[in-house]
Structure 1
Amino acid sequence: MLCLHRKYHYSLKVKSKIMENIEGLFKKFVYTGVGLVSLTKDRLQNTIDEMIKDEKISEKEGEKLVSDFFENTESKKNELEDQLKGVVTKAVSKFQFASSSKLEELTNRIKVLEQLLKGEK
């Protein structure tokens, strides 16, 4: 029975490592996206400033372009978050992780069985 208990804990450790890796990849992906948006925003602002300076567009038009960019970026960010949540949910479901209540139930059952085995010896 002790062997089963060890396998159970080993399985939990493996699943925990997998989740840590998924979470790490998710964070890297988000940080990369934030960096790209920041870089794009800076370049856009510089380009608009140059266009205003060269009198190709008015200051009001420049502000509108920046405002539109941020609105579009926010919308795309929300779409991306929804897609990523879907991907993570799908990946997690493939591993068939037990809920915390199910894990607690199984842990208690193992403890009871171990106590029964100790009583038989």
Structure 2
Amino acid sequence: MIDLIKKTLLTGVGLAVMTKDKVEELGRDLADQAKLGESEGREFVDNLMKQSENARGEFETRVNALVKKAVDGLNLAPKDELTKLQARVAELEAELKRHDESATHAG
């Protein structure tokens, strides 16, 4: 019974990073240890799968928020700004080249 409690507690922590197969395997193991009937066991595994999906979604949301916070803290230029700057540099280079060519031909 202690193993069942330990696994249940660890399940809440690890559900987000477990594969679907591992969650199903854990659910079957826990259902067997708890001596659940077939329909109860299936319901338990299904519930565990739903909890896993929810935990994965919450985990992903938290990771995305942390990554965004870290990137924002680096004060990096967003990709669209970088693209605009690259286009502006190319435009200025072309303008400078035209200016140099006209100065060369005029002199």
Assess same fold via TM > 0.5. Answer: yes
Indicate the structure (1 or 2) with the bigger Cα radius of gyration: 2
Alignment correspondent of 2:29 = 46
1:52-63 mapped onto 2 (5 Å cutoff): 56-63=35-42
Structure 1 unpaired stretches of 5+: 1-31
Highest relative contact order (Cα 8 Å, sep 6+), 1 or 2?
1
Tell me the equivalent position of 1:93.
72
Q: How does 1:1-121 map to 2 (within 5 A)?
A: 33-35=17-19, 38-48=21-31, 50-51=32-33, 56-115=35-94, 116=96, 119=100
Q: What is the TM-score normalised by the length of structure 1?
A: 0.52
TM-score with structure 2 setting the length: 0.57
Identity %: 22
Deviation at 1:51, TM superposition (A): 4.9
Q: In 2, distance between residues paired with 1:51 and 1:89?
A: 42
Change beyond 3 A, Cα 1:114–1:39: same
Tell me what 2:12 maps to.
none
Structure 2, unmatched stretches of 5+, are 1-15
The alpha-carbon distance between structure 1 residues 106 and 59, as it changes in their structure 2 partners (threshold 3 A), is same
Q: CA RMSD in A?
A: 3.0
Alignment partners' CA distance in 2, 1:60 and 1:110:
67
Q: Show structure 1 runs of 4+ deviating over 3 A.
A: 112-115
Aligned pairs, number: 85
